[in-house]
Each structure stands twice: as structure tokens, then as C-alpha cells.
Amino acid sequence: MSKAFTRESEHDDDDADGAAAIATPGGKNYVTRQGYERLRRELLTLMDEERPKVVEAVHWAAKNGDRSENGDYLYGKKRLREIDRRIRFLTKRLEIAEVVDPSLHHGNDQVFFGATVTYADEAGRETTVTIMGTDEADNTQGQVSWVSPVARALLKARVGDVVKLAVPGGLQELEVLEVRYPAPGA
């Protein structure tokens, strides 16, 4: 069937990128100050720069005649829906954000949000992770979300504690070796 005879709903996948991410325990969205500012900058860039450019391109493409075969128009409308969906998502996330300052725990040996934790598994392999917000955690940087299984196992543990982590093969024990927090003002 020709694309000209299909209708893309403007509400398709409205919450595809947001529904699951917003559902955190207690509806909380803990985030560091840096993570909050990064989300806010992305929202402002989308609203003030990217969206107006796409609206202008769609307006220009609409003046070029038959919209059903106009690739610029169709792509522009699709991109506009993506931008609007991301704007809604970021707005919701920022509304429920609770900014947490991990440096308040500097010098503490107990694991809380924002801690950088080094732990050893049963095989003696050491791993270091930083517990971050769901919107800012980046596994490639050794950051895990505070709702991830490993973070949930580590939270409230102290140096020397052994915690149990549920893995597909059963339970695995992790020993907390070190807990660090950023220095105040850093």
C-alpha cells in the first residue's frame, strides 16, 4: 500500500520513551545538580533552537505543493512529533526531579545516592560504579541508575559489608571495599 494512503497518528508511541522511565519507586526522580542542568539545557535547546528550525522547514515544504509525496514535509512532520514527544518527556522528568547533592555524604562509608562504590564479587573481580539518577547514568562511564539491581543491593551498605545481588544464575555475594563521595564544592 502506498504511503499516501496510510495515516500516521500524531499520538503513536506518545509515551514510548517516557512511560517506563517515569515509573521509579515512589515516583522519585533523584538527579545530581549536573544531571538536572543537562536535562534542562536539552529541553531549552529543543524548544528554542531545534523546534523552530523544523517548524520553519515544514512551513517551507508545505508551500511546495502536494504534501503526500513531499519528503521534506513528511520528514519534517515526523521530526516535529519526535521533538514534541521529547519535550513532553523532559518536562515531566524535570517536574518530578529531586536534586541531590552527593557531597553532603563526603567522608561517609555508607552507600547512598551519588556514591562511587568499589566492590568485589565472589571471584574476586573488583568493579567500581557511581550511583546516579535514571536520566543521567551512563554504563560506559561506570555509572548505574539508583534503581538498577546492583545499586539497590549496594544502597545503605557500608565498607566491609557483604550484600546479595540477584542474578539470573541465583544469588551472588558482593563485598563493599570502598565508598567515596565528591568533595563539597567540587
**Cα gap 148→157, rounded to integer Å:** 15
State the average pLDDT over residues 79-90. Answer: 96
Residues of the chain with CATH 1.10.287.180: 3-99
pLDDT at 137 over 50: yes
85-106 pLDDT tens trace: 999 999 999 999 999 999 998 8
Task: Assign domain 3-99 to a CATH class.
Answer: mainly alpha
Residue 108 sits at φ, ψ, to 5 deg, of: -85, 150
138 DSSP assignment:
-
Say how many C-beta atoms besides its own lie within 10 A of residue 99's C-beta.
Answer: 14
pLDDT at 23: 58
pTM listed for this prediction: 0.76
- pLDDT tens sequence across 8-25: 554 444 444 554 445 566
Fold assignment, 102-180: Chitinase A; domain 3 (3.10.50)
Share of the chain above pLDDT 70, in %: 84
Provide the CB-side half-sphere exposure for 38 (13 A, CA).
9
Q: Has residue 48 got a pLDDT over 90?
A: yes
Q: How far is 186 from 164, CA to CA, in rounded Å? A: 32
Neighbours of 15 (CB within 10 A): 14
The partner residues of 180 in beta bridges, in order of sequence, read: 116
Least confident piece of the model among 8-17, 46-55, 157-166, 171-180: 8-17
